[in-house]
Chain A
Amino acid sequence: MELFAFDDVYVQRLREGDRWTEEHFLHYFQRLLLMKLRGRLRSREAIDDVRQEVFVRVFRTLRADGLHDGRKLGAFVNSICNNVLMEHYRAGDRAETLDESHESVADSLDIEAEVVSAETKARVRRVLHGMQSRDGELLRELFLEERDKDEVCRKFNVDRGYLRVLLHRAKERFREEYRGGVTVDFSASRETKA
């Protein structure tokens, strides 16, 4: 994800239906909304439905001149998302049995399809390989969904603060890996008789 700051010009382009701006907007906020909704909704379908509704309302409101400070576009999208989520919960209350909780999260396998690729997995392997063995093991345990984090901390005799810092370091390395890498073109090769 690129670093991007929104402004009035950007919002004006959105209002005018500029194609590049709309595509950029959708690409940027699809990811952010997924990050937010993955912890709150139980299925991929629900996430897609809420995201779609958020985009519809954002465009409708923008075209009705409903946002006066372009720098607040992100907060605006977030607040619309909160409203849509509340309505989704209320609709769910009517449709679902009481013992089902809103706190259930979407299946990570569904989310995985949108964010994981062979390339990101290769980066993770390089990150794990580049760490001290104990930290690498700790991170592997952290990746296991079913592991209780307090239990992981006890096992490795560290506190939650250490876990946060380790995750922070891993995140930085993961980002650096994205910028690194070497590409070799086969056209530079020589032909040989087999």
Chain B
Amino acid sequence: MNHADAIEKLAAERYLLNELSPQERDAFEEHYFDCPVCAEAVTNGVTLIESGRSVVREQSAAPAANVTRLRWTARLSTAAAAVLALFLGIQMLAPRTEQMAAPGSDRLAISVVEPHDLRLTRSEGDARILQPEGTPLQVQVEDPQGRFPRYMVELRRKDAPVSNRLELTKQQAQQATYVHLGQPPAGDYEVVILGVPEVGQPQEINRVSIVIQPR
């Protein structure tokens, strides 16, 4: 099989869908091991499918977790009547209850990235991120629907009167914006996401507790 054949026959897609005969499969493998374009098409496709499986599996599993994580989500406002996702290398989906999120409602996510040294602890439905001091802290905020014209991300130190605040536009929130929070010193923090409506006060959408531990 040459590259023109592979493109014409959508060989990468057939390979991913397991539609090739054993002979065709062997021929395509022989080709893509030598063809960087097809190799990229296969690896990209496998990553898409495996990630998609993981996403769909988590979405299906979310309602079953209602009981154990109810308190955590109870803090969400009505405006955040959405699935809340917290990522930590492995992703943990927050519960979805009928009162809080109608089936098929839009996702609103805050992700904590840079997972190498992070650990998640849960108790009584509460979620906390533990991170060693000196490790860059980064969160990803995503609201595909962009239901607010502006968003605010706040890093609040629990025992201090000052908080840092950053505003995101609707477009940035729709694109899943990464927000670098620097390397905060040891202490108890919260990352709070607020939606800012055209009229009225900002509404809290989500918050995550983060404990920066001394080295």
Binding site for B on A (CB under 8 A): 1-6, 31-32, 35-36, 38-39, 71-75, 77-79, 82, 108, 111-112, 115-129, 139-140, 142-145, 149, 160, 163-165, 167-168, 170-171, 174-175, 180-194
Give the number of chain B interface residues (Cβ < 8 Å): 67
Binding site for A on B (CB under 8 A): 10, 12-14, 16-19, 26, 29-30, 32-37, 39-56, 87-91, 107, 109, 111, 113, 115, 140, 142, 144, 153, 155-156, 161-166, 168, 172, 175-182
Chain B minimum-CB-distance residue to A178: B44
Point out the residues of chain B lying under 8 angstroms from A126, CB to CB.
142, 144, 175-176
A143 touches B33 (CB 8 A): no
Point out the residues of chain B lying under 8 angstroms from A108, CB to CB.
50, 53
A194 touches B161 (CB 8 A): yes
Provide the main secondary structure of the chain A interface.
Answer: helix
A-B contact pairs, 22 of them (CB 8 A): A1-B44, A3-B40, A71-B34, A74-B32, A79-B30, A111-B50, A115-B46, A116-B50, A116-B51, A118-B115, A126-B175, A129-B107, A149-B17, A164-B19, A167-B13, A168-B13, A171-B44, A175-B44, A183-B178, A184-B172, A191-B165, A192-B165
Shortest beta-carbon distance from B111 to chain A in Å: 6
Provide the main secondary structure of the chain B interface.
Answer: mixed
